[in-house]
Structure 1
Amino acid sequence: MRELSLDQLRTLVTIVDLGTFSAAANALHLAQPTISLHVSDLEERLGSALLMRGSRRVQATALGALVIDRARRLLRDADDLLDVARKHVEGKVGRVRLGTSTGVVVNLLPRVLRQLENSFPGIDVEVNIMGSNETMARLQEGTLDIGLVAIPITASKEIQITHWRSDRMMAFLPATWKSPAAIKPGWLMDKPMIFNDATTQMYRLTMAWFAEAGENPRARIELNYNEAMKSLVSAGYGAAILPLEQPLAAELDRHKDVRIVPLSPVLKRHIGVAHRALPNLDKATVNVLETIRQFQQA
């Protein structure tokens, strides 16, 4: 037996719903002979009559009623499939894998995800916490779709990186410490320091800032989680150099036992958005990228 046609099943259901062949032909924008052919072809395949032609209204036979009941389910499933496929093509649904650091996750990414939920609630963003180098490697092997990475960073020709935002680095000090209005590298040399992990871009950025002043500090402790570093500063454990990723007042409100002081010379942490070239991206990934760029800053 040949496979059943959804068009023929839709014709059968429409005839019974509307009561006549001519009404079904009008509703489906088909010629009446085509409607008749759909029914006769179905009856031939199934080996029995599906409709009883009355003087006023067409009715289903017992087998016809059974077929129509199943046909309604098939047609609903087919319509659902087409709707999901359309939304996928339009980028309204899908899964996007994103890699980023802990600092971005805590302060920046939640704002992006809230906007994304408002604009594209059907897109599921899978967030992977990792360093910039691992993010680039995962993009290269195809297990990530988007990365938020510290720049500059080495990239391959397959991966495109664009600047996203630059956040000013600040000295986070225990509130009980007295300090100048701007913190120079030399002032921190005799202070206990809390650094990012030595494998991170943030560590290399901080050490380069000290090196330009001829200083080579040693960390009291190294971590790879900015919020944990701030908690240690708040407890008086030491000073940290971290990006200011939200307004100063909001940061101080969250960490009441911390003083935040500018650095001299000024130091900035730059973040880029990394992904494969646009022709190779699905629309859901493109929509996530466009949402991320709404939070772009110099």
Structure 2
Amino acid sequence: MAIDLRQLRQFVTIAELGSFRRAADALHIAQPALSVSIQKLEHAVGTPLLARGAKGVSLTPAGQALMHDARRALFHAGQARQAARRVALGEWGTLRLGFVGSATYMLLPRCLPAFRERYPDVELDLREDSTVGLVSMLRANDIDAGLVRGPLVEDPALESWVVERDDLILAVPAGHALAGLACAPLAQARHESFVMYSPSKVPGLHGVALSLCRKAGFTPRISQQGIQVQTLVSLVASGLGLALVPGVTRAYSTPHVSFVPLCDPDAHQALSLSLVTHRDTSCAPVLRLRDSMLDAPAR
């Protein structure tokens, strides 16, 4: 006959209080029902566990032997229940989070410290890749969520939330004629060479940058392509052309490159970083991270 946790809890309560009556009151159960339950426990064990006496109830030698393991079983059951609850609430577990490089400029430093302080038992497994690579990893279940550059192609299996918006600005060599301007129309760069994002690896940024150039009346002459924003900035510093980069790139300024705001209205809030995950995700920490990012104060 099996022993259940309810019986062990009743047994421990009787032993600790030394009375069936007091235990019944503490457990909110009728005393006859408690007596029947303990009889079933003793039958399952195969020997008496409690002895009634003039001074109350005491443990038999068998009861003393059971007491230690009963308390330990109740403790571990409580721990297991709490752990399962915390996992379900997203307060414990592992979160495999992918991110594009530019998420490290502002978004991650702004949001992750508060998230880690609030959920210290969620282990973060961080992986950097391109937007295309992250979406592929997500579909293969290699990560639980990704921070990617939009816009994203509609996918009914995925769900996304914009967690940061940013302007598109112009990166130019430090000695360039546009360097130091408070604001410049993109059309002034129509005759320049550009270093551009790879259309196959970074389609979102590539499409937004190309569209902005076309709205300014020209198709950019592309000299080099790159995947990471910092790579494009390095290519600009090397004199290989100008680049359109997120405004947050200014946080990692270099003496060899100047960042020039654009006057073009379409450049304002042209970019987005989105948290994307499976629509039916079972990884509750993803939702806690989403809430933290959406609630975080804007930069």
TM range (shorter): 0.7 to 0.9
Aligned residues: 289
1:179-232 Cα offsets, whole Å, 9 max, x none, are 2631535536445x5433342122333233334433332234x33222344355
* Deviation (angstroms), 1:30: 1.6
Corresponding position: 1:215 with 2:214: no
* Deviation (angstroms), 1:262: 1.8
1:231-270 Cα offsets, whole Å, 9 max, x none, are 5555666543210127x5xx26x53443211235353223
What does residue 270 of structure 1 align with? Answer: 272
- Aligned-CA RMSD value: 3.1
Rounded to whole Å, the distance in 1 between the matches of 2:255 and 2:218 is 33
Q: State whether residues 160 and 276 of structure 1, in contact with CA within 8 Å, keep that contact through their aligned partners in structure 2.
A: yes
Q: How does 1:100-119 map to 2 (within 5 A)?
A: 100-119=99-118
Distance 1:190 1:232, change over 3 A: closer
Whichever residue aligns with residue 216 of structure 1, its letter is P
TM normalised by structure 2 equals 0.80
Whichever residue aligns with residue 214 of structure 1, its letter is F
3-state secondary structure, aligned to 1:24: helix
Q: How does 1:190-205 map to 2 (within 5 A)?
A: 190=192, 193-199=194-200, 200-201=202-203, 202-205=205-208
* Deviation (angstroms), 1:111: 1.7
Rounded to whole Å, the distance in 2 between the matches of 1:173 and 1:140 is 37
* Deviation (angstroms), 1:29: 1.4
- Can you give the 5+ residue segments of structure 1 that lack an aligned partner in the other structure? none
What does residue 284 of structure 1 align with? Answer: 285
What does residue 89 of structure 2 align with? Answer: 90
208-217 or 69-78, larger mean C-alpha shift = 208-217
3-state secondary structure, aligned to 2:244: strand
Rounded to whole Å, the distance in 1 between the matches of 2:46 and 2:101 is 65
TM normalised by structure 1 equals 0.81
Q: State whether residues 135 and 149 of structure 1, in contact with CA within 8 Å, keep that contact through their aligned partners in structure 2.
A: yes
* Deviation (angstroms), 1:68: 0.8
Distance 1:63 1:188, change over 3 A: farther
* Deviation (angstroms), 1:162: 4.3
What does residue 240 of structure 1 align with? Answer: 243
Distance 1:295 1:189, change over 3 A: farther
Q: How does 1:1-298 map to 2 (within 5 A)?
A: 2-140=1-139, 142-179=141-178, 181=181, 182=184, 184=186, 187=189, 189-190=191-192, 193-199=194-200, 200-201=202-203, 202-212=205-215, 213-220=217-224, 222-231=225-234, 233=236, 239-245=242-248, 251=251, 254-265=253-264, 266-267=266-267, 268-277=270-279, 283-295=284-296
* Deviation (angstroms), 1:80: 0.8
Q: Percent identity?
A: 24
Whichever residue aligns with residue 272 of structure 1, its letter is S
Whichever residue aligns with residue 83 of structure 1, its letter is Q
Q: State whether residues 98 and 125 of structure 1, in contact with CA within 8 Å, keep that contact through their aligned partners in structure 2.
A: yes
Distance 1:23 1:295, change over 3 A: closer
